[in-house]
């Protein structure tokens, strides 16, 4: 019993001593960084926040960061050009927080670990990752040694293997990680650029199977099919498709094959397109079932066919996507009558603008909007650029009229907006132009326009009629006019648009002249007319059976705009 009391006494004394030590330790470093803590390799033990921050900053100032990349002992690049932004304050705050988070036991545990093992805190560095990626890619282009891959060759009827040569390539992921680590440290640092061998060794078993299969093929053909597409692979093509390492099918040549046949196989799904004339549907384009190649499945089936060595037709596997609207649905859509119409003219438009109006209208024409669905002009028209067929015409950009892709598309969105108003549909998104564009006031009062510009401006409206609606767009490129008709089933609604109220008018600035290389030197052509700045407001009301079902007030704030003339510089451009 006496011995037990003695042991308990010793334990209590040791416990009190430990508490005293930890209490003293905590008091000694109450506002200071605990021992054995470094920031970017710099010892900051016992420092307060200000002193640690000053020391870290001084180190980086007196020992500027410099990262050297080395290949086989030879310097190949310096990274001084990469701009870095350090967050020294964050690192110091992290150092001060070590041993001070959590409950008392967690704090004690963290302080003991720090004393035993130490803590290294990295200074966060912000850089342009794309710039670093470009630098690593450029280095890889210079230093990589391209492999020579093994291949099969035919000598008469004998199939032989021509061995390849190993390549060497930079391990870009590993190099990037190491560069980021070194950029967070002061001073000069050399990095031995990590490389990896590209093994081109063949697998004897795989090669034997390939040669055995090719000996079966000889004059036979393997034909790929999908719908109306058909393509036969020659013996030489099949010879390149056989893998010689671990895979039955060579990845690089398989990818080339996929790339060559994909355009003939893959197609986006498309709803059936209906044309409404003379109170009935009398023309349509049938739906298209979409298809996307099932690449993993195709590779597996191709491997099986190649090894079989039997002449056959291989159906290319595809994932099918079905359209929402099919030709057979024509009687169920509820498209019975004209419910809204909008029109506009665009006299004095340059040829590129006329072309773009017609192209954009053709991409909206025939659009079906389901009951409860929101129509988006931007989504329907798609990308507006040279890549999608649009020509150069004048657009508003950064407060100026400049040449750009797709000028004139807003003629189509404006006319569609007017048709939606006439149909009494709820307008869920609409944005006015920056200034009063002359085209939209040729046959309409000001304020009834809608600009579109992805992704900041769109025209959207809701089909709340209870049945499908069909949008049909017609452009007369000779009379420079267009019309948008919306067909569906009338539920008795009637819409009214008030006469626009104009206020806060301001005069236009002086006339602007814009150089145009498409016009002969010395000629001028007016494309915009001076417009007063103004606030324009109109009310939109929709009623059914004398009861209001939708009301909205549209407000447009137009800045003053000057007349704009194109000044021909064509002869200068030809010199």
By the 10 Å C-beta count (0-12 exposed, 13-18 middle, 19+ buried), 34 is classed as buried
Least confident of 24-38, 379-393, 403-417, 458-472: 24-38
CA-based angle 234:240:242, to the nearest 5? 105
Among candidate residues 437, 439, 418, the one with its CA nearest the CA of residue 483: 418
Of the listed ranges 281-285, 410-414, 475-479, 524-528, the least confidently predicted one is 281-285
CB atoms within 10 A of CB 307: 16
Residues 6+ apart with CB under 8 A from 24: none
Confidence of residue 446 (pLDDT cuts 50, 70, 90): very high
Q: Is the pLDDT of residue 573 over 60?
A: no
Q: How confident is the model over 201-212, as a mean pLDDT?
A: 91
The 10s digit of each residue's pLDDT in 254-291 is: 999 999 999 999 999 988 877 777 766 667 778 899 99
pLDDT of residue 271: 81
pLDDT tens digits, one per residue of 502-558: 999 999 888 888 888 888 888 888 877 777 899 999 999 999 999 999 999 999 999
Confidence check: pLDDT of 84 > 80: yes
Q: State the number of CA atoms in the 13 A half-sphere of 169 facing the CB.
A: 14
**In this structure, what DSSP letter does residue 488 have?**
E
Stretch 487-503: mean pLDDT: 94
Is the pLDDT at 572 greater than 70? The verdict is: no
Using CA atoms, how far apart are residues 481 and 357, in angstroms rounded to an integer? 10
pLDDT at 386 over 90: no
pLDDT average, residue stretch 30-56:
89
Q: Which two tokens stand for residue 90?
A: 């964050």
Sign of the torsion angle spanned by Cα atoms 347, 348, 353, 358: positive
Residue range 111-140, pLDDT digits in tens: 889 888 998 998 888 888 888 888 889 889
**CA-to-CA distance for 516 and 456, rounded, in angstroms?**
28
Percentage with pLDDT > 70 across the chain = 90
Please, what is the average pLDDT of the chain? Answer: 87
Helix (H, G, I), strand (E, B), or coil: what is residue 258? helix
Rounded CA separation 333/325 (Å): 9
pLDDT band at 396 (very low <50, low <70, confident <90, very high): low
Q: Which residue has the higher pLDDT, 472 or 401?
A: 472
**Mean pLDDT lowest among 94-108, 354-368, 419-433, 445-459:** 94-108
Contacts with 190 (C-beta within 8 Å, 6 or more apart), sequence order: 68, 69, 70
Write the class of the CATH domain 221-327: alpha beta
326 vs 482, more confident: 482
Q: Is residue 109 pLDDT above 90, yes or no?
A: no
Strand-strand pairing, 337-345 and 481-488: antiparallel
Q: CB atoms < 10 A from the CB of 394, how many? A: 22
- Spell out the residues 6+ positions from residue 551 whose beta carbon is closer than 8 angstroms to its own: 539, 540, 541, 542
Q: Given this model, what pLDDT does residue 575 score?
A: 41
Res. 25 pLDDT band, cuts 50 70 90? low
Q: What share of the chain is helix, strand, coil (3-state, %, to 5)?
A: 35, 35, 35
Q: Which residue has the higher pLDDT, 420 or 39?
A: 420
Which residue from 221, 218, 139, 233 is spatially nearest to 179, judged by alpha carbons? 139
pLDDT value for 493: 95
């Amino acid at each position: 019993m006496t011995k037990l009391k003695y042991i308990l006494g010793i334990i209590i004394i040791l416990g009190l001593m430990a508490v005293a030590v930890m209490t003293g330790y905590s008091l000694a470093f109450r506002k200071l960084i605990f021992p054995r803590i470094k920031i970017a390799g710099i010892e900051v033990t016992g420092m307060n926040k200000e002193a640690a921050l000053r020391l870290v900053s001084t180190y980086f100032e007196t020992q500027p960061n410099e990262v050297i990349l080395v290949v086989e002992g030879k310097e190949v690049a310096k990274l001084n050009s990469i701009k870095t932004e350090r967050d020294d304050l964050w690192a110091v705050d992290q150092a001060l927080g070590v041993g001070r988070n959590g409950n008392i036991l967690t704090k004690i545990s963290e302080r003991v670990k720090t004393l035993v093992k130490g803590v290294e805190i990295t200074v966060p560095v912000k850089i342009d990752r794309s710039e670093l990626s470009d630098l690593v890619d450029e280095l890889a282009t210079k230093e990589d040694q391209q492999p020579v891959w093994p291949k099969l060759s035919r000598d008469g009827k004998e199939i032989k293997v021509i061995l390849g040569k190993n390549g060497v390539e930079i391990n870009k992921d590993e190099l990037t990680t190491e560069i980021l680590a070194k950029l967070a440290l002061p001073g000069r640092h050399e990095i031995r650029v990590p490389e990896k061998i590209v093994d081109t060794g063949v697998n004897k078993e795989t090669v034997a199977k390939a040669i055995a299969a090719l000996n079966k093929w000889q004059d036979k053909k393997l034909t790929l099919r999908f719908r109306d597409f058909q393509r036969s692979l020659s013996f030489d093509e099949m010879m390149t498709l056989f893998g010689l390492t671990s895979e039955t099918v060579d990845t690089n040549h398989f990818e080339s094959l996929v790339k060559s046949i994909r355009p003939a196989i893959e197609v986006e799904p498309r709803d059936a397109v209906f044309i409404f004339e003379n109170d009935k549907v009398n023309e349509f384009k049938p739906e298209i079932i979409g298809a996307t190649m099932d690449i993993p499945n195709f590779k597996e089936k191709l491997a099986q066919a190649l090894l079989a060595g039997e002449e056959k037709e291989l159906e290319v596997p595809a994932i099918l996507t079905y359209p929402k609207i099919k030709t057979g649905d024509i009687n169920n859509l509820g498209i019975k009558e004209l419910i809204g119409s909008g029109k506009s003219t665009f006299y004095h438009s340059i040829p590129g603008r006329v072309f773009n109006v017609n192209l954009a209208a053709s991409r909206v024409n025939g659009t079906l909007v389901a009951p409860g669905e929101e129509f988006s002009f931007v989504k329907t028209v798609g990308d507006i650029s040279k890549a999608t067929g649009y020509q150069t015409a004048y657009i508003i950009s950064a407060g100026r009229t400049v040449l750009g892709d797709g000028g004139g598309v807003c003629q189509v969105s404006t006319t569609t907006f007017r048709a939606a108003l006439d149909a009494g549909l709820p307008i869920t998104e609409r944005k006015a132009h920056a200034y009063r564009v002359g085209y939209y006031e040729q046959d309409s009062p000001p304020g009834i326009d809608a600009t579109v510009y992805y992704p900041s401006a769109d025209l959207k409206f809701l089909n709340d009629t209870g049945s499908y609606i069909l949008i049909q767009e017609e452009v007369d490129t000779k009379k420079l006019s267009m019309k948008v008709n919306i067909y569906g089933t009338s539920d008795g609604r009637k819409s009214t648009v008030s006469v626009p109220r104009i206020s806060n008018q301001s005069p236009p600035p002086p006339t602007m002249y814009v150089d145009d290389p498409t016009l002969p030197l010395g000629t001028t052509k007016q494309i915009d007319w001076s417009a007063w700045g103004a606030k324009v407001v109109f009310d939109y009301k929709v009623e059914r059976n004398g009861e209001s079902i939708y009301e909205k007030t549209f407000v447009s704030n137009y800045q003053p705009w000057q007349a704009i003339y194109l000044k021909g510089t064509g002869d200068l451009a030809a010199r």
